[in-house]
A and B are shown apart, each in its own frame.
Chain A
């Protein structure tokens, strides 16, 4: 068995046919983490003992013929998703010692399916960033090139899957934070429709954008995880009362003959790297060969998506992060003589630079005299962008676009230029603004051997069409998939 090519689907077969036990499988991943993660730095913490306990329970269920699709499957979890009794740091000095008092619903659902949780993965502090360089604790590297970033903010999650340090992972996606690192690391990442997966236990960044999403080696693996974690949750008032009548996994194998696919013209302008563009057009040829039609169309409002996204998400972040005051939990500054000093210094000493930038931008956008010009204007653009996509989906089954304008950049390349970092989200933020599902899959490699991501964005609750389109493309492309050499 080649662990670097193993998928959840294949592991399921190995477990159910008793070719390997859940404990052996878990030990394989723990051993690999111990020997390789010092190069990748994907994990912030590894829960070896509890993982092996979970594997033993899973094996008993397998032996009794009661296994589910994820029973005994080792997964990693982004460290902004709570697991009771374990540290949830958000890669921030602010939450360095925070032990979660409850478990996120998405993780509870994985527990209910007897998945094995290996540990918590690195991220940009509070999920703010696109390179995982904003972590207060370590720098995760791209498994395809250790001198490059894995993307972010779910960089640890994507790297853990790409480097086969987990079979799958949960990330969170506020403006592309699952899909962009998945693209950079050559794996599949999916952001569900807003409300399809409960946000209970996901540490809030921008509540009207945040969604937990799966990362896996294949489209089908992501569908299997989404089948487990989706569903209404009384603990999240925004979670939808919706359950697909057919599992997402079943949608993956459908063909796309007669599919109509739209390609926004606005995403094909300057800034799109020539190799990424060439890979996009090659992918279009593949989709047409598979029976789909692809045509360009226009959503003029998406040109303003980046500005609108950063205004709205930062405004929400400035409000959400006001809870960190050094009193109830989190970092507390020493020797403070007044309550105001305690709050001001705890926040200044506990937050990193990018988090401070977002808090300042959000506070600025909400401040008296600027509210209408910035925040309210962005909310109106949110309407226009959502309407643009709604109109597109009257003509098209899915919308196609590059995931990122370029492939993984060098460590440190953009750390002094936050604006350049923000512009890297240019193709991913619109799905979050409109609350739409979107998936990124590998579609090629550049001349440096770095993965290129292709995205399909669907209508609200259109996950099945997404999995169908992505699954069909993947079936044609699968022989070209490369595994990083670490």
Chain B
């Protein structure tokens, strides 16, 4: 990532990450990211051909339980942390025009 395109690219990344950053914050974070990605670049040239990727360190595979119905949380409990509910549902601004 170069200086010239870093601000625009961070703006694009912030959009993907659903972060509505203001201009000052965008500039500050773009500067930070420049340094941080500089450190990350140190791994780019390491030869890792023929090395498998380790997606997860867990030694557990196919850890399945019996398909037995269990208790769930009550609707009231799950809704209790939402700032806005209507008729036992989460409420959001209108999604469809």
Q: List A residues at the B interface (Cβ < 8 Å).
A: 97-99, 101-102, 194-195, 208-209, 234, 237-241, 304, 306-308, 310-311, 318, 322, 325-330, 332, 336-345, 347-348, 351, 353, 356-357, 359-361, 363-365, 367, 373-374, 376-384, 386, 418-419, 422, 433-435, 460
Contacts and interface: CB of A to CB of B under 8 A. Distances in A.
B25 to A, nearest CB: 8
A331 B90 CA distance: 14
A116 B22 CA distance: 45
Contacts, number: 169
B42 A304 contact: yes
A195 B59 contact: yes
B43 A348 contact: no
Given A306-B39, A383-B52, A386-B54, A364 B33 contact: yes
Given A348-B20, A364-B33, A367-B13, A337 B57 contact: no
B36 A422 contact: yes
B90 A327 contact: yes
Contacts of A376: 53
Interface residues of B, number: 50
Contact of A208 (B25, B39, B58): B58
| Interface majority SS (helix, strand, loop, mixed), chain B | loop
Nearest to B10: A360
A365 B40 contact: yes
A376 B52 CA distance: 10
8 contacts: A194-B58, A325-B18, A328-B78, A348-B25, A373-B44, A374-B40, A377-B43, A384-B48
Nearest to A435: B57
Contacts of B55: 208, 379
Contacts of B57: 194, 208-209, 382, 386, 433-435
Nearest to B28: A353
Contacts of A209: 57
Given A208-B57, A304-B43, A386-B54, A363 B16 contact: yes
Interface in B12-71: 13-14, 16-22, 25, 28-29, 32-33, 35-37, 39-40, 42-44, 46, 48, 51-60, 63, 65
